[in-house]
Amino acid sequence: MSGSSDSNSVQRIVIKKVLAKLQKEGEGTVVRNVITEIDRELLDPFVLLVEFSFSLSAGFPDHPHRGFESVTYMLQGGIIHKDLRGHKSTIQAGDVQWMTAGRGIIHSEFPEQEVNNGLQLWINLPSIHRMIEPKNLELSSSKIPRAEEDGVEVKVIAGDSMGIKSPFYTTTPIMFLDFTLKPGSQTHQTVPESWTAFAYIIEGDEGVFGSLNSSAISAHHVVVFGTGDLVSVWNKSTSSSLRFLLIAGEPIGENVVQCGPFVMNSQAEIDMAFDDYQNAKNGFEMAKSS
C-alpha cells in the first residue's frame, strides 16, 4: 500500500471514462486526443491533453500560442524545441518542458529520433495572468523528485506525493504525478477537495480507479473523478505493471474559448489574437523576422 488516508477522507469515484483513440494528424503524425471529447467544465483548468508521436519527416514548424501554459512530458525519444525569442532545447525520455505562452510565443517542435512518444498538457490561465510574459523551463529526468514504497513508484512533476514535493511552480496551481504500480499494489493520493482531477492510463489493462468494486480500465483511457479529497487506485494484474498520470488542478471558473493555438475568454479575444499574430504586434513582434 502507498499513501495514507484518515477516516474523514472522501473517496473520489470515477464519473466519466473515455478511450482516447489513435488518429492521424497530418503527414507522419499520430495522436490520441485525450480530453477533447469530455465536457470542458469537468476539466477546468485543463484545456487539452494529447499523446503524440511523429516520424522524422514530420513535426510542427513555427506556430503561435497565447493564453495558457503547457507541460510536455517525453515517454520515448526526444523533441527539439525552438522559439523565435532565441530559446532552443531538446528534451529526452523522462524530461519535461514547461512553456508559458502568456501574451505570445512562436515556436517549433520536431522529433529528434525516429521512435518518439510524449504527452502535452495545456493548462488555462486566469484572465488576470493570461497576457504575462512568455517563458520556458526544461527539467531533466534526473531532477524530477520521485519516491518508491510498497510496489508503487511516483515521479512528482508538479505538486506533492508520498512525502516529496516538486520545487516547480505553475501560475495555475496543479498536481502532475506519474505513477507506476507493480502487480497487486495500490495507492491512495490526497487531492485538494475543490480541485478537478483526472487520470490517463499509459500502460496496463487491469487498473481499478476510485472504488475497489469498480470494473478494471485499460491503457489509453482517461478517467474523470468526482468530488472528494482522496483518489485510490489498485493494480489488479498479477503479471504486469500499471502506469498512469494523475493530474489535478484548481478550477479558474471563467469562460474559455479555444481556437487552434489560442486559449482566451471570448471569441473577440481569439479574433484579436489572430489579428495580433498576422500583424506581428502585442506579443508577436518576433513574427516579423520569421
**Is 107 assigned to a binding site?**
yes
Report CA 251 to chain centroid distance, whole Å.
15
**Is 63 assigned to a binding site?**
yes
**Is 129 assigned to a binding site?**
no
Closest of 228, 190, 172 to residue 46, by C-alpha: 172
HSE at residue 11, side-chain half, CA atoms within 13 A, is 13
Q: What angle do CA 92, 169, 199 make, to 5 degrees?
A: 65
How do 152-158 and 207-209 pair as beta strands? unpaired
Residue positions counted in the chain: 290
**Is 138 assigned to a binding site?**
no
- Other beta carbons within 10 Å of 271: 13
Contacts of 288 (CB under 8 A, 6+ apart): 280
Residue 193 to residues 9, 162, 222, 250: CA-CA distances in angstroms? 10, 18, 20, 10
Largest CA distance in the chain: 60
| 3 secondary structure, DSSP code | S
- Other beta carbons within 10 Å of 116: 21
Which residues belong to the annotated binding site?
63, 65, 107, 109
Query: Per the annotation, where are the binding residues for Fe cation?
Result: 63, 65, 107, 109
